[in-house]
Amino acid sequence: MFGFEDTMTQENLSATQAAQPIPPGAALPHRKIIRSWITPLAERRTAIAVALLVLDWVIFATFIAGTVVFTSWWAKLLCGVAAGFMIGRLFIIGHDACHQSYTPHRGLNKLLGRIAMIPSLTPYSLWEVGHNVVHHGYTNLKGVDFVWAPLTKEEFEALPRWRQWLERVYRSGWGPALYYLIEMWWLRMFFPRKAYMGARRPEFIWDGVFVLAVGVAWIAAMVAAALATDQSVALQVLMGFVVPFIFWNAMIGFVVYVHHTHPAVQWHDDKVAWAKAAPFVSTTVHLEFPFKIGALMHHIMEHTAHHVDMSVPLYRLKQAQKKLEEMLPGRIIIQRFSWRWYFDTARRCKLYDFTRRCWTDFQGRPTSDPAPSYA
């Protein structure tokens, strides 16, 4: 009996300790315990979810209509940029639905996710595999996670000159739109070759056909609108389709870059060391914006909470992130956004040295402090 009581006492003590903030330097508790801190915030509400989707779709459609109604090029441009931003907001909703965190209903999540991802021309099923399985399953593990995965100096020098030039553009700070458009959407989402998507499922093909049809219909609608209003077809297609789509690519390319690229963020090429580093906490950045810009992006920048527990819906991420930062003081990378910081990060985070565990420039010179060793 004493042994049973002693075991219960130890379990109660562990639970009590787990409910207290973890001091810097102390061992992190198991991921299940960390998740338990924010699990109460994972309540999903169908009414809020549907209302957000409808609202964002209406605003997106209004801005697209604005590119037709307004005749001056600058007004069309402003509407096109705003429509591109709304594509980003809609995609974040689709991203949540793809994680099954948007509503309590699996089938409804799939439907709403596909509807939300229509303007971004994203094949839902391909995104689901690449993001949920690969990125979230192996965040910042080189050779598996492919999103903004840094090259080593040896890999960079082995590239042909044109590909080295492209890599320099990608990591210049000015390249997120080009990176996402080519490396993510074109190569991995738009009818990807077997080299980029090993398995081939009928669902992948049909989702690709669907987004192709949507793209063609969108362009055709812009052409028809220009002819009906006696406007330039080229200008209308540019402002009503090209500008929103390019802005969306720049937005998502920037977002995924700053989520996991930072001088304090470590990449790994060893699975054992990667697992010991608690990658769901150590490889993500909470980027803070002024003027509630983060809220305008559906709180996707409260990214640590999202990686700890993907079931927390976007409309509860702010509270979840706050709870994690209270419980893990000094453990979470919190960065106040500024363009100066962003371009300094782009200058420093070119390549990665997995032996020295630090970021380097293109010449292989260290530009960050060595990360802790977990081998």
User: What is the predicted pLDDT for the residue at 47?
Assistant: 95
pLDDT of residue 29: 85
Cα–Cα dist 299/96, whole Å = 11
Query: Which among 275, 248, 321, 246 has a CA at the least distance from the CA of 94?
Result: 248
Output the pTM of the full model: 0.91
Secondary structure element (H or E) that encloses residue 353, with its range: strand 351-353
The reported pLDDT for the residue numbered 301 is: 94
Q: Residue 322 and residue 289: Cα distance in Å, rounded? A: 15
Residue with tokens 């990807």, as numbered in its chain? 192
Residues 6+ apart with CB under 8 A from 252: 88, 91, 120, 176, 180, 184
What tokens were used for 341?
């910081």
The domain segmentation of the chain, as residue ranges, is: 44-360
- How many whole angstroms separate alpha carbon 121 and alpha carbon 185? 9
Integer CA distances (angstroms), 331 to 156, 185, 299, 325, in order: 32, 33, 20, 8
Can you give the length of the chain in residues?
Answer: 375
Nearest to 132 by CA among 310, 336, 10: 310
- Regarding beta strands 333-336 and 351-353, do their DSSP bridges make them parallel or antiparallel, or are they unpaired? unpaired
- The alpha carbon of 360 is separated from its chain's Cα centroid by a whole number of angstroms, namely 24
Q: Residue 162's CB: how many other CB atoms inside 10 A?
A: 8
Query: If residue 333 lies in a helix (H) or strand (E), which one and from where to where?
Result: strand 333-336
pLDDT at 375: 57
The rounded distance, in Å, linking the Cα atoms of 144 and 269 is 9
Q: pLDDT (tens digit, 0 to 9) for every residue of the chain, 375 residues total?
A: 334 344 434 444 344 445 788 888 788 888 889 999 998 888 999 999 999 999 999 999 999 999 999 999 999 999 999 999 999 999 999 999 999 999 999 999 999 999 999 999 999 988 888 888 888 889 999 999 999 999 999 999 999 999 999 999 999 999 999 999 999 999 998 888 776 666 778 888 899 999 999 999 999 999 999 999 999 999 999 999 999 999 999 999 999 999 999 999 999 999 999 988 888 888 999 999 988 899 999 999 999 999 999 999 999 999 999 999 999 998 899 999 999 999 999 999 999 999 999 999 999 999 999 988 765
pLDDT at 350: 98
Check if the beta carbon of residue 302 is closer than 8 Å to that of residue 294: yes
CB 374 within 8 A of CB 276: yes
